[in-house]
Amino acid sequence: MKPTGCHLFLSRPDIIKEIKQGRLRFDPPIDQTRIEQVSVDLLLGHNFTRFKERSAGYLSAVHLDDSIWDSLDIWDRVEGDSYVLEPGKFVLAQTLEKVCIPNHLVGLIEGRSRYARLGLTTHLTAPKIDPGFSGPITLEIANLGNLPLRLRAAVDSIAQLMLVRLTRP
């Protein structure tokens, strides 16, 4: 009997089934060793976006509009195989994988505890990945620890994706 009124998280066999049936897709494809009991480990991509040191002006959280993300006065964009995140600093990054979530699932992105123990927060807010989403997932990363941390693209799996079945697509 199916429980009602609760979340139905996909387990490893269900995640594998969704992938094999082509409904849940990852590009590049993921190895099954990265599928845990109720999550998929995602790798860090090569693109990093950080605030410029001494950005001009200030940001008003009340009046943000979409043009803020394209402002060269505020952001530095870096591409590379690694990125050193200093203590107290923040960077936006993306997953290496482009994720395609089918309409009957919703994703939840979370950091991984092995990195959190070093002071690395991988996703600060808004963990929901909507049904029908397709693309790399943007990660909000901060170093709350005391030591610089080298983040390695295509090596470090700093985020995990959990999947929840919707009651109605």
Cα dihedral across residues 69, 48, 88, 129: positive or negative:
positive
Instruction: For residue 76, give Cα distances in angstroms to 55, 70, 96, 151.
Output: 10, 10, 19, 17
Q: Which helix (H) or strand (E) holds 15?
A: helix 12-20
Q: Find the catalytic residue in 18, 36, 86, 140.
A: 140
Tokens 């610089």 belong to which residue? 148
CB 98 within 8 A of CB 136: yes
CB 114 within 8 A of CB 84: no
Distance between CA atoms of 122 and 143, rounded to whole angstroms?
A: 9
140 catalytically annotated: yes
Residues marked as catalytic: 140
